[in-house]
């Protein structure tokens, strides 16, 4: 019953993610149109829009990765249906609270809700506590889910096995750790860490809010904790998607399963450690942060991303180069997604280099790179999984229609949308402006172009949406 | 092959450290040398007087600005901004001060400084003094001001720095960069030994600061807040071990 339950829950996760994704894209397009001058939003409304867009996108693609990992993990260990369902219920409640606090309560401190913004009330007074409680609800649901998946893996594998340490020196160890298990565990431990950071952060924020000024926070501590949580979760959700790719890409392509080698094991162990330190690069402009931590931030940014990207790209190239591949929509999405992830990753590493950050900090280069590895990376990882899942487990099988059109729109829309960000970033156009002053001569044009291409991207997503949605809805409505 | 690859990668990563370290360490520069005595350099004032900095400060507390007359960059805006800010600075009506503009370029003569004062229409302003000194390197090192000569541009690469010195010759406050009248007001107050609250001070309501600043030693030590930053990682590894131990004991 539980395996069926996980399948049904996975279908519900997919439906929820797709609906929220489409709504969040529309919010994004409205923001770009406002920056382009085609529509007019009050600044408060723009920032409320930006807040809900950012936090929803991070949330949905995190749970999409978790749902996919949970579903595939059933191949190796037995996972908890109840933890999965609990997370689902808490996510629904949390998202409703978030949307109410921002769209009705007008809370607009941005998805990073940087201290002390949440306490500078420029919206309904109840919106601040509701926003913070929404995060708490989401955090509790996800924490339980993550702990349950970790427990499931640790029942079967010892700590050294689950992190593939036996592969460091031994080519053929007695117990082999599948890459999926290794990367899932690396990601889950990272997620656990950043969720604990979020708990500490929320406790401190609640303490200040409910003490009415008797207790005040240290701004540097809160900013460090905010990015410990925010940066780390944004990275770990990518790794969840990669765990799925390591499992499904060879399988869908008709190639032998990928194995954990010593360099794969080392690369992912480096990622496990260094991704927890990379967030310091968000504080380069905070002069009170000690210089040592700034250098740690730069080095960790390289050491967390480059080894894992290197082995993943190497594995994919070996898998596809001069070999007969059974291409389908899913593995094409995986393949393009890895390219998007790598391009965005290079953009991120450029920005994480201190000397470059002096120029690029808080310009549109920042949304350019994080939209690259999300909109054209992580989204495609999960979309590939959604498509595979819906076809594999649905009774409504049949020829996939309009595949080329979907991919063409996705590529055209995605690349155009990102190019508008990159060009603007290179021209030092600042981010987080609701509208641009005339001095930024190309800003409005680029924003409008961004909105047009994002609309093409949205059409592609709607085409995917229609086929995946129908199949998943069928699964949910099926009687067990 | 992979070993070579790894070595190359590590060299690549480490090569950027130099870049990172080479950035101006603005960090605590404004806090360096606070409550220390400024070097008592002998000055030659454009009026022809010979006086030391401490003697000048004893007459009136000083705002010291470091410039050079051939500067094509920040020196002119620094003086213009200071002149303007002093007109609008809040809460300085009854405060004493003199502005001392010292050249840190050994090539500058008294005549050059006189021309500079004329250019800014400050040559007859009573509380503005323009001067040169033959002990410039000891003076600038006593306030941690480090101009670097650039052969390509034939200019000094330097900060815009104002140093506040009280009547006893102690550095009370430093301002880096072009600052508004409010900051200049705080500087004037500080050289008159009036408390100037520029940073939020640790109080009983603030329990978890990342750093604790000791004004006596001028040093920061890690505070309880730093532990909070490390806490999530420590806790998650402990939870990992705990889960494994529990599941192991259940399976036995």
Looking at residue A400, the DSSP 8-state letter turns out to be: P
Give the distance from CA B149 to its chain's centroid.
Answer: 19
Is A77 an 8 Å CB contact of chain B?
no
With an 8 Å Cβ cutoff, are B206 and A217 in contact? yes
Q: From A132, A114, A95, A93, select the one nearest A19 (Cα to Cα).
A: A95
Tell me which residue range forms the domain holding A119. Answer: 2-477
Lowest mean pLDDT among A249-253, B13-17, B229-233: B13-17
With an 8 Å Cβ cutoff, are A147 and B243 in contact? yes
Collect all residues with Cβ–Cβ distance below 8 Å to B134 and sequence separation of at least 6: B42
Report pLDDT for A165. 96
Q: Pairing relation of β-strands B62-67 and B161-165?
A: antiparallel
Structural Rg of chain A based on CA atoms? 22
Q: How far is B148 from chain A (nearest CA, A)?
A: 19
Q: Which residues of B touch A (CB under 8 A)?
A: 2, 9, 12-13, 16-17, 19-23, 25-27, 203, 205-211, 223, 225, 228-229, 231-233, 235-237, 239-241, 243-244, 246-248, 250-251
Give the count of beta carbons closer than 10 Å to the beta carbon of residue A361.
17
If 0-12 CB within 10 Å is exposed, 13-18 middle and 19+ buried, where does residue B199 land?
exposed
Give the count of Cβ contacts less than 8 A between chain A and B: 113
Spatial separation of the C-alpha atoms in residues A280 and A230, rounded to whole Å: 12
Is A294 an 8 Å CB contact of chain B?
yes
With an 8 Å Cβ cutoff, are B211 and A291 in contact? no
The per-residue DSSP string of A410-478 comes to HHHHHHHHHHHHHHHHHTTPBSS-SS--TTSTTHHHHHHHHHHHHHHHHHHHHHHHHHHHHHHHHHHHS
Spatial separation of the C-alpha atoms in residues A221 and A185, rounded to whole Å: 28
Res B136 pLDDT > 70: yes
Position B209 confidence tier, pLDDT thresholds 50, 70, 90: confident
- Cβ contact B97:B126 at 8 Å: no
With an 8 Å Cβ cutoff, are B205 and A216 in contact? yes
Is A154 an 8 Å CB contact of chain B?
yes
The residue assigned the tokens 């194995």 is A259
If 0-12 CB within 10 Å is exposed, 13-18 middle and 19+ buried, where does residue B70 land?
middle
CATH number at residue A171: 1.20.210.10
Res A184 pLDDT > 90: yes
How would you classify residue A164: left for phi > 0, otherwise alpha for psi between -120 and 50, otherwise beta? left
Q: How far is B177 from chain A (nearest CA, A)?
A: 14
Report pLDDT for B22. 40
A83 compared with B19, residue with greater pLDDT = A83
Report pLDDT for B24. 42
With an 8 Å Cβ cutoff, are B229 and A228 in contact? yes
| Sign, CA torsion A466/A460/A347/A309 | positive
Q: How far is A231 from chain B (nearest CA, A)?
A: 14
What confidence tens digit (pLDDT) does each residue in A198-231 have?
999 999 999 999 998 788 898 899 999 999 999 9
Of A194, A306, A355, nearest to B232 by CB-CB distance is A194
Q: Pairing relation of β-strands B128-133 and B98-103?
A: parallel
Res A434 pLDDT > 80: yes
A376 compared with B218, residue with greater pLDDT = A376
Of A218, A290, A298, nearest to B16 by CB-CB distance is A298
Of B13, B205, B243, nearest to A150 by CB-CB distance is B243
- Cβ contact A338:A312 at 8 Å: yes
Q: How far is A198 from chain B (nearest CA, A)?
A: 9
Angle CA(A39)–CA(A432)–CA(A416) in degrees, nearest 5?
65
For testing the chain A interface, which of B198, B243, B245 should be mutated: the one with the most A CBs within 10 Å?
A: B243
With an 8 Å Cβ cutoff, are B228 and A302 in contact? no
Of B17, B208, B240, nearest to A189 by CB-CB distance is B240
Report pLDDT for A262. 93
Report pLDDT for B213. 74
Q: From A357, A368, A203, A363, select the one nearest A281 (Cα to Cα).
A: A357
Res B199 pLDDT > 60: no
For testing the chain B interface, which of A154, A226, A227, A275 should be mutated: the one with the most B CBs within 10 Å?
A: A154
| Sign, CA torsion B80/B86/B87/B89 | positive
Report pLDDT for A196. 97
Is A287 an 8 Å CB contact of chain B?
yes
Chain A positions touching B12 (Cβ under 8 A) are: 302
Q: How far is CA A410 from CA A27, A241, A351, A456, A460, in A?
A: 18, 19, 26, 7, 5
Q: What is the mean pLDDT of chain A?
A: 93
Cis peptide before A116 (omega within 30 of 0): yes
- Cβ contact A239:A271 at 8 Å: yes
Give the 3-state DSSP-derived string for B176-211, with helices as H, strands as E and coil as C: ECCCCHHHHHHHHHHHCCCCCCCCCCCCCCCCCCCE
Query: Average pLDDT of A41-70?
Result: 96
Q: From B119, B115, B108, select the one nearest B76 (Cα to Cα).
A: B119
Chain A positions touching B25 (Cβ under 8 A) are: 291
Question: For the stretch B153-186, what's the b/e string if a residue is b when 16 or more beta carbons lie within 10 angstroms of its beta carbon?
Answer: eebbebbbbbbbbbbebbbbbbbeeebebebbbb
Chain A positions touching B26 (Cβ under 8 A) are: 287
Q: How far is A232 from chain B (nearest CA, A)?
A: 12
The per-residue DSSP string of B128-192 comes to EEEEEES-HHHHHHHTT---EEETTTTEEE---EEEEE-TTSBEEEEEESS--HHHHHHHHHHHT
Could you tell me which chain B residue has the CA closest to the CA of A311? B2
User: Could you tell me which residues are beta bridge partners of residue B176?
Assistant: B161
With an 8 Å Cβ cutoff, are A193 and B210 in contact? no
Query: Average pLDDT of A381-409?
Result: 87
Query: Average pLDDT of B89-100?
Result: 91
B26 compared with A11, residue with greater pLDDT = A11
Phi, psi at residue A230, to the nearest 5°?
-65, -50
Of A218, A221, A354, nearest to B23 by CB-CB distance is A354
Give the distance from CA B211 to its chain's centroid.
Answer: 19
With an 8 Å Cβ cutoff, are A298 and B20 in contact? yes
Q: How many domains, in total, are found in chain A?
A: 1
Estimate the crossing angle of helix A329-352 against helix A219-253, to 10 degrees.
150
User: Could you tell me which residues are beta bridge partners of residue B66?
Assistant: B102
Phi, psi at residue B45, to the nearest 5°?
-85, 155
Spatial separation of the C-alpha atoms in residues A22 and B125, rounded to whole Å: 67
Total count of residues recorded for chain B: 252
Phi, psi at residue A72, to the nearest 5°?
-75, -30
Res B5 pLDDT > 70: no
Estimate the crossing angle of helix A329-352 against helix A403-426, to 10 degrees.
10
Collect all residues with Cβ–Cβ distance below 8 Å to A24 and sequence separation of at least 6: A52, A53, A56, A57, A60
Query: Average pLDDT of B133-145?
Result: 94
Report pLDDT for B197. 61
Query: Average pLDDT of A298-313?
Result: 91
ipTM associated with this complex:
0.91
Spatial separation of the C-alpha atoms in residues A257 and A245, rounded to whole Å: 11
Collect all residues with Cβ–Cβ distance below 8 Å to B218 and sequence separation of at least 6: B31, B32, B34, B35
Q: Pairing relation of β-strands B50-52 and B148-150?
A: unpaired
Angle CA(A466)–CA(A469)–CA(A471) in degrees, nearest 5?
110
Spatial separation of the C-alpha atoms in residues B191 and B173, rounded to whole Å: 8
Spatial separation of the C-alpha atoms in residues A248 and A231, rounded to whole Å: 27
3-state secondary structure of A282: helix
Cα end-to-end distance, chain B, whole Å: 44
Q: From A273, A260, A262, A300, select the one nearest A284 (Cα to Cα).
A: A300
H-helix or E-strand spanning residue A320: helix A291-320
Q: How far is CA A245 from CA A248, A251, A274, B157, in A?
A: 5, 9, 22, 52
Q: What is the mean pLDDT of chain B?
A: 86
Give the count of beta carbons closer than 10 Å to the beta carbon of residue A397.
11
Spatial separation of the C-alpha atoms in residues B17 and A6, rounded to whole Å: 47
The residue assigned the tokens 């996108």 is A57
Chain B positions touching A358 (Cβ under 8 A) are: 23
Could you tell me which chain A residue has the CA closest to the CA of B208? A218
Looking at residue A75, the DSSP 8-state letter turns out to be: T
If 0-12 CB within 10 Å is exposed, 13-18 middle and 19+ buried, where does residue B99 land?
buried
Report pLDDT for B130. 96
Res A288 pLDDT > 90: no
């Amino acid at each position: 019953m539980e395996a069926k339950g996980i399948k049904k829950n996975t279908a519900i996760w997919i439906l929820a993610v797709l609906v929220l994704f489409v709504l969040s894209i529309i919010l994004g397009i409205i923001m770009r149109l406002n920056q382009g001058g085609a529509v007019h939003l009050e600044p408060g409304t723009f920032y409320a829009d930006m807040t809900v867009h950012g936090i929803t996108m991070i949330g949905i693609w995190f749970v999409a990765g978790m749902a996919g990992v949970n579903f595939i993990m059933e191949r190796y260990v037995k996972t908890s249906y109840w933890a999965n369902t609990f997370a689902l219920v808490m996510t629904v409640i949390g998202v409703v609270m978030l949307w109410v606090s921002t769209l009705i309560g007008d809370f607009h401190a941005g998805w990073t809700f940087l201290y002390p913004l949440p306490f500078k009330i420029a919206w309904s007074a109840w919106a601040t506590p509701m926003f913070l409680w929404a995060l708490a609800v989401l955090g509790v649901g996800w924490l339980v889910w993550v702990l349950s998946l970790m427990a499931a893996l640790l029942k079967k594998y010892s700590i050294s096995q689950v992190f593939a340490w036996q592969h460091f020196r031994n080519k053929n160890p007695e117990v082999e750790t599948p890459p999926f298990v290794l990367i899932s565990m690396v990601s889950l431990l990272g997620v656990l860490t950043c969720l604990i950071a979020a708990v500490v952060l929320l406790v401190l924020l609640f303490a200040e809010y409910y003490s009415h000024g008797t207790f005040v926070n240290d701004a540097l501590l809160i900013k460090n904790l905010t990015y410990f949580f925010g940066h780390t979760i944004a990275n770990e959700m990518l790794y969840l998607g990669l765990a799925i790719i390591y499992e499904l890409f060879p399988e869908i392509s008709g190639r032998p399963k990928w194995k954990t080698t010593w360099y794969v094991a080392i690369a992912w162990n480096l990622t496990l450690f260094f991704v927890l330190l990379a967030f310091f690069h968000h504080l380069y402009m905070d002069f009170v942060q000690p210089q040592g931590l700034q250098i740690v931030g730069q080095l960790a940014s390289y050491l967390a991303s480059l080894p894992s990207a290197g082995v993943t790209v190497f594995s994919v190239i070996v898998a596809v180069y001069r070999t007969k591949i059974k291409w389908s929509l899913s593995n094409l999405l995986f393949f393009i997604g890895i390219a998007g992830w790598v391009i965005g990753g290079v953009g991120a590493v450029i920005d994480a280099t201190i000397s470059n950050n002096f120029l690029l900090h808080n310009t549109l280069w920042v949304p350019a790179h994080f939209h690259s590895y999300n909109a054209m990376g992580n989204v495609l990882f999960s979309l590939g999984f959604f498509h595979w899942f819906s076809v594999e487990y649905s009774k409504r099988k049949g020829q996939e229609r309009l595949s080329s059109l979907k991919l063409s729109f996705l590529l055209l829309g995605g690349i155009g949308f990102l190019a508008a960000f990159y060009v603007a970033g290179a021209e030092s156009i600042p981010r987080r402006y609701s509208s641009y002053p005339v001095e930024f001569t190309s800003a409005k044009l680029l924003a409008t172009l961004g909105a047009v291409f994002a609309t093409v991207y949205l059409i592609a997503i709607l085409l995917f949406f229609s086929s995946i949605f129908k199949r998943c809805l069928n699964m949910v409505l099926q009687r067990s | 092959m992979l070993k070579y690859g790894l070595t190359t990668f590590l060299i690549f990563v480490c090569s950027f450290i130099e870049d990172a370290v080479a950035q101006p360490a603005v960090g605590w520069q404004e806090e360096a040398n606070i409550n220390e005595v400024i070097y008592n350099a002998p000055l030659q004032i454009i009026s022809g007087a010979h006086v030391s900095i401490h003697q000048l400060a004893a007459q009136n507390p000083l705002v010291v600005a470091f410039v050079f007359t051939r500067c094509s960059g920040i020196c002119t805006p620094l003086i213009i901004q200071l002149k303007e800010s002093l007109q609008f600075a809040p809460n300085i009506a009854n405060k004493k001060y003199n502005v001392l503009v010292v050249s840190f370029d050994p090539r500058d003569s008294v005549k050059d400084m006189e021309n500079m004062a004329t250019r800014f229409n400050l040559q007859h302003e009573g509380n503005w003094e323009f001067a040169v000194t033959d002990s410039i390197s000891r003076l600038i090192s006593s306030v941690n001001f480090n101009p670097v000569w650039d052969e390509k541009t034939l200019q000094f690469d330097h900060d815009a720095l104002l140093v506040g010195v009280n009547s006893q010759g102690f550095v009370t406050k430093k301002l880096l960069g072009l600052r508004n009248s409010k900051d200049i007001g705080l500087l004037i107050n500080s050289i008159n030994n009036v408390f100037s609250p520029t940073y939020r001070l640790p109080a009983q309501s603030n329990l978890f600061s990342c750093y604790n600043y000791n004004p006596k030693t001028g040093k920061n030590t890690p505070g309880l807040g730093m532990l909070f930053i490390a806490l999530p990682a420590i806790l998650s590894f402990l939870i990992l071990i705990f889960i494994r131990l529990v599941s192991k004991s259940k399976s036995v």
